[in-house]
Structure 1
Amino acid sequence: MEKRDLVTIIVCSYNQGSYIRECLDSIKAQTYNNIQLIVADDASPDNSVQVFEDWLNENDYPAIKNFHQKNTGLATILNECLELIKGEYVKVIAADDFLHPEAIEKCIGKLKSMGENYGMVYTDTYGIDDHSNILKDIADYNGMYNEDPEIFRQNLIKNNRIAALTVVMRKEALTKTGAYRNDLLVEDYYRWLMISSLYHIAYIPEKLAYYRLHSSNISSAKTERIDEECLYLQIMFDTTGQFRKNINYKIEQLYLGNKLSKFLQSQFQQYSYKKKRLAWAIQYNISPGLYTLINRYL
């Protein structure tokens, strides 16, 4: 029997003790049987660590443990886990999500069939509630199926079209794109864009994962930060000016609403396809009202 390449699965928890068993059960149930498991917890105040320990003992399942005594943030704990990876392929999953039994088998098969020009693969996913009931589709991922790889690369800059829990990366692609960034909430989106700049990305039009949608709402401040970071990434990766109209419009609306942060101001000034009059107004602190008048009469 042909020996299968080793796949590393990193399970990260923070206050997700209620869901850990379901996640680990799904990993144990994989039809792909050459898996290195790394379990990580970022100093959860709940019983996450105990649930990990109990499940590993009960199932006699080998795993490398990375349990923090002090909360450091997801990026830090993931970067520590990167040093522990032995597999040729890598999946990172939150402990409140879980996998279809054939998820790893099909993802590895897809990457092998597509060749080394493909650095990662992602799939469609179910959305589930706190009780693991399946919800209505959270996105139309299949709309991009069979899309030309170059068109997909450009459209990925427009918005994040990839559910992180479904992704399997080549270790080489992960290594080449560097450490996880602790200054971004949308670090996964940054990772996909970095990998996309070096490789093609494959897609499987099957629901091979279960994404937990919790009832708690995201704060407006967090939503604004995510929107700002996505705009920052669009500015960073739009090297051809394809999205200049959209980027300039969003920056202008933030400026007119007195919501343009100093960070985005500096990033916009470095954008090769910025609207010159807008960049000038921002640079010299022209009031939005005066800027509007200038645009009206010039």
Structure 2
Amino acid sequence: MSSKMEGPLVTIVVVSYNHSKYIKENLNSVKHQTYKNIQLIVGDDASQDHSVKIFEQWLKENEYPAEKNFHSYNTGLAQMLNECIELAKGKYIKLIAADDFLHPEAIERCVSKLESLGEEFGMIYTDTFAVDDSSAIIPDIADYNTSGNVAPLVFRQELIKGNRIPALTVMMRRKALIETGKYDSKFIVEDYYRWLKINEKYLISYIPEKLAYYRTHAENISKTRAERVETEFVMLQTMFDKDGKVKDKINGFIQQKYLSGQDISEEFFTLYKKYPFHVKRLIFCIQNHIPPSLYKIACKFF
């Protein structure tokens, strides 16, 4: 497969936001893929550095064809991805941030595996190296083998417990991506949302090999952003948990927010009321603005 063009077209979408120092390494990893039937799409969301210049320079120097989607103002990742996907022509699609990069056999191995599987498999992912700012390999950020090396039907049930998929390693069938709708700008954790939607309709496969390089950055995530990410994870679990697999986590999260006097958004509360395994007394107390101090008394009546 590595030297032939008759394999299915694969679209690789590389998106950047202030990733100028990493773009060449990313694009070199695309160029050096053993699998050659690739449509490259590059996108930049109005970076404040010279990312677009680096993109243009590399494409010219390497005489590598690419579709370009360069924004003059920042729209956010979801809009950028949706626009790039509209340009995609491949049977399979890979989305990757410009600060990460690929193992030379990443595309070949993923295509080979997906082609050997039935149409019921909508996507595949792999293990990944972690690298520092200088691209030196560092200790793994997670154990993907433990969660990935299970039967596909088991993985389908387990994914609701948390995001077990490194986004940079994923290859999706274009059909599965389109069927599950556009990326939603209201979620920071748009990747997990996508996996859960695909997981409802398709099976997911895993290759237990490190076929990508995930860049870790020194900047610490802000407390506010970390809290938002945690809340979004629980919101998505509330939306997709049909069997009560994470009911204790969801109910405990809502209860903790209520008892500590934290705001619960109307959107989240609406989702929780529809959740089949919600706690009725929590619904009652929140809906009727019962002070947390009276919660134990209210519990006696439910």
Query: TM-score by structure 1 length?
Result: 0.97
1:64-108, CA deviations, whole angstroms, 9 ceiling, x for partnerless residues? 000000111111111111110111000000000000000000011
Q: Which residue of 2 aligns with 1:202?
A: 205
The equivalent residue for 1:270 is: 274
2:124 maps to what in 1? 121
Distance 1:145 1:38 in 2: 29
Identify the residue that residue 282 of structure 1 maps to in structure 2.
Answer: 286
Task: Give the stretch that moved more between structures: 148-157 or 4-13.
Answer: 148-157
What secondary structure sits across from 1:83 in the alignment?
Answer: helix
Answer yes or no: is 1:34 the counterpart of 2:50. Answer: no
TM-score scaled by structure 2?
Answer: 0.96
Do residues 112 (structure 1) and 115 (structure 2) align? yes
**How many Å separate the matches in 2 of 1:85 and 1:261?**
38
In 2 relative to 1, CA 97–2 (structure 1 residues): closer, same or farther, beyond 3 Å? closer
The match for 1:151 among 136, 139, 154 is 154
- SS of the equivalent of 2:137 reads coil
For 1:2 and 1:134, the matched residues in 2 are separated by 32
Further displaced range: 71-80 or 263-272:
263-272
Q: Deviations over 1:7-32 (max 9, x none)?
A: 00000000000000000000000000
The equivalent residue for 1:188 is: 191
Find the counterpart in structure 2 of residue 134 from structure 1.
Answer: 137
**Take 1:51 and 1:239, find their aligned partners in 2: how far apart are those partners?**
46
Instruction: Indicate whether 1:71 and 2:69 are aligned.
Output: no
Q: C-alpha distance in 2, partners of 1:69/1:158?
A: 39
Whole-Å separation in 2 of the counterparts to 1:13 and 1:170: 23
Determine helix, strand or coil for the equivalent of 2:206: strand
Helix, strand or coil at the partner of 2:21: coil
1:52 and 2:52 correspond: no
Amino acid at match of 1:60: E
Q: How many residues align?
A: 298
| Cα distance in 2 between the residues matched to 1:76 and 1:45 | 18
For 1:161, the aligned partner's letter is R
Q: Does 1:291 align with 2:302?
A: no
- The CA deviation at 1:295 is 3.5
Matched residue type, 2:49: D
Structure 1 vs Structure 2 CA RMSD: 1.3
* Separation (CA, whole Å) in 1 of partners of 2:10 and 2:229: 31
Would you say the 8 A contact 1:186–1:226 is kept in 2? yes
Contact kept, 8 Å, 1:100 with 1:209, in 2: the verdict is: yes
Q: Which amino acid aligns with 2:284?
A: W
- Deviation of 1:297 after TM superposition, in Å, equals 8.9
Unaligned runs of 5+ in 1: none
Q: Does 1:219 align with 2:202?
A: no
Structure 2: give runs of 5+ residues left out of the alignment.
none
